[in-house]
Amino acid sequence: MMRAARFATCANAGFDNVSFDLIAGLPGQTMTGWRRNLEEAFALRPEHLSFYLLEVHQGTPLASHIESGLQPSLMKISLLRCMKWMLDRAAEAGYEHYENFQSLFAGTRVAAQHQILDAAPYYGFGCSAHSYDGASRRWANERDLNGYMEMIGRGEPAIVDETRLSESDSTAEAVFLGLRMMRGFSFANKAASLARTCARNMKRT
């Protein structure tokens, strides 16, 4: 009920493109619980769904808690079963699987994940937000919340990392992001830049 109420609040506030992130592999999670969570998500009908497998990195609080027994170990059910069931059930619910592993959408292609994979410009606001101008510049805001608030409080830009992409960088990104899409990568769209990149690389060898 609480999830439905929060979703309704977003809709009433004017948000017409909502995405849910669904994570499989949580400590203590069961297949029954996983299916129940997915059915709740499908019933609310968000425009976009993303599916992730939990990654536990050494040095994180979760890894320490699992090692010490404060948290149960990761669920023992097959993560492949989780993924297959989600994709099959999502297709029944009318969602299209557009990205090779994790993302699905229904009704709209303007979700942030789709924009990133299409190398379209996107702008992030807030702590740790990332942005891209759609051409050659990427930048990221301060990750630490206190540091971010201090910078904003002083009236300073909170940008702490900036990258300028060369034509070769942009071409390489277009290839590997395109290969993540179910539709594949269109060489026709990048033929000229691919030719120039290949020519430069051949000169170096």
In this structure, are 44 and 90 located in the same domain? yes
Question: Of 79, 107, 135, which marks where a domain is finished?
Answer: 107
**Is 112 domain-assigned?**
no
In this structure, are 10 and 99 located in the same domain? yes
Instruction: Write down the residue that tokens 């099959």 correspond to.
Output: 88
- Segment 18-43 shows an average pLDDT of 87
- Kind of pairing between the strands at 96-97 and 103-105: antiparallel
Q: Which residue has the higher pLDDT, 143 or 76?
A: 143
**Is 147 domain-assigned?**
yes
In this structure, are 66 and 122 located in the same domain? no
Round to whole Å and give the CA distance between 163 and 131.
Answer: 11
Give me 110's structure tokens. 């303007």
Beta-bridge partner residues of 161: 140
pTM above threshold 0.85: no
**pLDDT higher than 90, residue 140:** yes
Domain span at 9: 2-107
Give me 81's structure tokens. 């079963």
